[in-house]
Chain A
Amino acid sequence: MKKIVHYSFVSLVFLAILFPIAKFNKKGTVSQKENRTLAEKPDSPFKFSGYDAYFQDRFGGRNRLVAIANFIDYSVFHKQIKNSRAFKGKNDWFYYIDSKDGNNLNDFYKKNLLTKAELESFRNSVRETAQWCKDNDIKYLFVIGPNKHSVYPENYMEERPEGITRADQMISVFKELGAPCVFPRDFLILQKDKNEAPLYYETDTHWNNLGAYYAFVKIQEELAKLFPNTDFPKIDYDFSVDYSESAGDILPMLGIKTAKSTQVTATPKNGTFSDYFEYVKDEGREGVITNGKKENLPKAIVFRDSFCSALTPYFSTQFSSVEYNWRRMTDDDKKHILGNKVDLIVFEAVERYSLGIAGM
């Protein structure tokens, strides 16, 4: 009997350590659950650290094991759920903290303030971009989407350090150069107390339709200054609030299936969005093109990231056409812009990636 126990034990252990190879995920390139690209096999057999990432991302049983670890922390110990990519803050709010992806934590702790040299470099790139636009008689607008924890620090930690942030430094540069910009952080903080529904998803990195709407209000103010003779459509919106279970883009990183999430839907009071614009192309990262229903409105091109998704419907109502590109502006884009007589270029980036907004 004792021998059977011994044999069973060795067999079980061996099966456990063989499982990662046996069920290795060789083919997939994207983790749907975690909304990220999986590490690829290194191009050289000697790039050992690359293999570590490759194995770690793709070994058999990984997703289930991550879920077990988080179940233990979350359901058994009611622990503050945290790993290197995300954590659960107060009041069931989840935050993204991956230091390899823009580093929200440094923004939060104000540890990434720009040095004089870095500020100068940023100033030069803004100046260069602005000059190119001016030389070609094109209006431009910089839009920075505030990090979730900049608007909701109270759920993130007890106290945010006093003082300015890197984004504040950058806004000073925009103002100093007279470059039009929108950074609606303070406006969103004001608005969040006036609304029952939150402005950001609890389980996601991004602002929701309500948060994006308030950002759009500030964008509209800038548009009115940039195009004083244009009669932009003025649209009132109805917002309906619904509560559902959702994973957002953060929960899969923690191996949690769903948590309570507030969903806000925006609809124009008179009609629907399709009364104001239509999608010519709607392929997300591959590009979005919208055509407005009024031809006398300006034509815009947007260099964007994921924060622009919720802005797209509002923004598209204001133009005869908008081309959304999920990248920073390239030389090819410049040729394309000049060839297509674009009236406005919008440079949009989330706060944690905003240093590159003007091409740095």
Chain B
Amino acid sequence: MLFSSITFLGFFLPIVIIIYFALPQRVYKNAVLLLASLLFYAWGEPKFVLLMVASILFNYNMGLIIADNKEHSRKILIFSILVNLGLLFIFKYLGFSCKIINYIIGALHLKNLEEINLLLPIGISFYTFQEITYLVDVYKEPYLSQRNVLNLGLYITFFPQLIAGPIVRYHDINQQIEKRRESFENLYIGFQRFILGLSKKVLIANNMAFVCDSIYDADIFSYGTVAAWIAAVSYALQIYYDFSGYSDMAIGLAKIFGFDLLENFNFPYAATSITDFWRRWHISLTNFFRDYVYIPLGGNRKGPKRTVLYRIFVFFLTGLWHGASFNFIIWGLLHGFSMLIERFLKLDKKSKESKIFSAFYRISSLVIIILFWVLFRNGTKQTIKLYLKMFGINYSRFFTFHPVVSTALYWFNVDVKFYIILATAVLFAFPWWKKIKLSTNQAIQTVAALLKSLALVTLLCLCFSFLANNTYNPFIYFRF
């Protein structure tokens, strides 16, 4: 089930909220959230609910064994992680691995393996990582082990973050499962955050997606340089507003039920460098790889060569996590290498020394990030052609700006509305308003709160109306 669907907004959410707040005790409230989460998941993937339940039971038992068996806990931890990763591998990477093996076998003129095309259970990348954080946290601090299987089930399946994160680490939330406080203030903050995220998704990301998909899905010969850039910028904004919108919705929904989830985005396109970008983009994933892969491997404690190796490995994994495809791996590696270049050329230091260089490097980093998104979106085969098109290089029969004017404006729906939304999207991708200091005057603050509330209710109605109209509503991070 999508948050940005009528089923969720108009049926699932109000019913769950009513039942949740009608129940008196924590144990019943948690049970309702668990059941609702299972239904939420089953709505998209009924048959994979059993897989998820089996995975929860396995990790619940492994957690208990790790906590109660200090002597062999390390071996059991490694075994459990391997089982979890094995499951992820089977569903997400087995087909891809077969393709690579067949490619090698083909080159050696041997008989190919049979192709494997398994359906990917939604959210498996997210919940597998959450299960790993649980096992590692219990290994480090055995008293954290969850004795109540329903509570662990709720941690793993909690619907606000189940299918697209943020990846919630167990030690960040374990206490909240049993001891949290629902309040009217939480409802107020939660609804505000949820509507903000929904608006980012429905009003901005969907409109960016429509134009971007229209251009990329068209024959590459039918558009020119400007359209190629419009598509690239639209995609960069789409993926940001789509994913950060989803994270906002998750954080807002969790808040409604009294949970505090950590932030997942911090204005990534305002980053001063690519290194800074990764401090601001999908923070929960970056933190996961830092804390559960990079540091356990040795981090930067084992000399510069190892540091380089580990960083590249982490970005290889980051790319691979996004999907079993070469473009994701190359995308991850490109980010990793870019960060290493920044480090060795000490660009961070140079940026601090010169404002002009800082501005130049900020813009360059943003352009590089946008170019990397083109690879992420379009796969390895199409990307080179798109890069050539974006830089106006004639790789085939024509070079022209002309088709952009005559065709793109009409057929790619690039119109006034798009430009207004594009401008809004660019504007709100940067935290300029945080510098505005509101008066401490009580009356002004009340008026500001009133205006903000009215704006959000209007946005909610707009989202409802666009969803009612069946407008374009894809979701990128579902497939990860």
Which residues of A approach B to under 8 Å, CB–CB? 1-2, 5-10, 12-14, 16-21, 46, 48, 51-52, 55-56, 59-62, 65-66, 68-70, 72-73, 77-80, 82-85, 157-158, 255
Contact = CB atoms under 8 A, between A and B. Distances in A.
A46 to B, nearest CB: 6
Contacts of A18: 14
A70 B469 CA distance: 8
Contacts of A2: 442, 445-446, 449
B14 A14 contact: yes
B470 A10 contact: no
B6 A59 contact: yes
A13 B195 contact: yes
Given A20-B10, A77-B416, A157 B468 contact: no
A85 B195 CA distance: 27
Contacts of A1: 442, 446
A interface, over-half SS: helix
B14 A69 contact: no
B212 to A, nearest CB: 16
A13 B191 contact: yes
Contact of A16 (B407, B417, B420, B460): B460
A55 B184 contact: no
A46 B11 contact: no
7 contacts: A6-B453, A48-B44, A69-B465, A77-B416, A77-B420, A80-B413, A83-B469
Nearest to A57: B6
Given A5-B449, A9-B191, A62 B410 contact: no
Interface string B454-476: 00110011101110111100000
Given A73-B417, A80-B415, A12 B184 contact: no
A158 B43 contact: no
Contact of A46 (B14, B46, B416, B456): B46
Given A2-B446, A16-B457, A48-B42, A78 B465 contact: no
Interface string B172-214: 0000000000001101100110010000000000000000000
Contacts of B407: 158
Contact of A66 (B7, B185, B468): B468
Nearest to B469: A69
Nearest to B191: A13
A66 B469 contact: yes
B198 to A, nearest CB: 11
Contacts of A77: 415-417, 420
A83 B470 contact: yes
Q: Give the one of A13, A52, A55 with max B CB within 10 A.
A: A13
A65 B464 contact: yes
Majority DSSP secondary structure for residues of B touching A? helix
A70 B410 CA distance: 18
A55 B11 contact: yes
A5 B450 contact: yes
Nearest to B46: A46
Contacts of A19: 10
B10 A65 contact: no
B292 interface: no
Nearest to B450: A5
Contact of A17 (B9, B417, B466): B9
Contacts of A48: 1, 42-44, 46
B449 A6 contact: yes
Contact of A69 (B7, B188, B442, B468): B468
Interface of B: 1, 5-7, 9-11, 13-15, 17, 42-44, 46, 184-185, 187-188, 191-192, 195, 406-407, 410-411, 413, 415-417, 420, 442, 445-446, 449-450, 453, 456-457, 460-462, 464-466, 468-471
A158 B11 contact: no
Given A66-B465, A66-B468, A69-B468, A20 B11 contact: yes
Contacts of A56: 5-7, 468, 470
Of listed B10, B420, B470, residue having the most chain A CB within 10 A:
B10
B5 A52 contact: yes
Given A8-B453, A20-B9, A56-B470, 13 more contacts: A5-B453, A13-B195, A19-B10, A21-B11, A48-B1, A56-B5, A56-B6, A56-B468, A66-B469, A72-B462, A72-B465, A80-B415, A157-B410
Contacts of A60: 10
Top 3 nearest A-B pairs (CB, nearest first) are A20-B10, A65-B468, A9-B453
A251 to B, nearest CB: 13
A61 B9 CA distance: 13
Nearest to A3: B184
B185 A69 contact: no
Contacts of A61: 464, 468
A51 to B, nearest CB: 7
A79 B468 CA distance: 18
Contact of B188 (A6, A51, A157): A6
A59 B7 CA distance: 9
A16 B468 CA distance: 14
B191 A55 contact: no
Contacts of B450: 5
B416 A78 contact: yes
A101 to B, nearest CB: 14
Contacts of B416: 77-79
A2 B191 CA distance: 16
Contacts of B466: 69
Nearest to B417: A77
Contacts of A83: 469-471
A117 to B, nearest CB: 24
Contacts of B464: 16, 61, 65
B413 A55 contact: no
B170 to A, nearest CB: 30
B450 to A, nearest CB: 5
B449 A10 contact: no
Nearest to B188: A6
Contact of A10 (B7, B9, B187, B445): B187
A59 B165 CA distance: 29
A158 B195 contact: no
Contact of B6 (A5, A55, A68): A55
A84 B470 contact: yes
Most buried by A among B7, B192, B407: B7
B410 A80 contact: yes
A46 B44 CA distance: 11
A241 B462 CA distance: 40
Contact of A59 (B10, B188, B406): B10
Contact of A12 (B15, B457, B469): B457
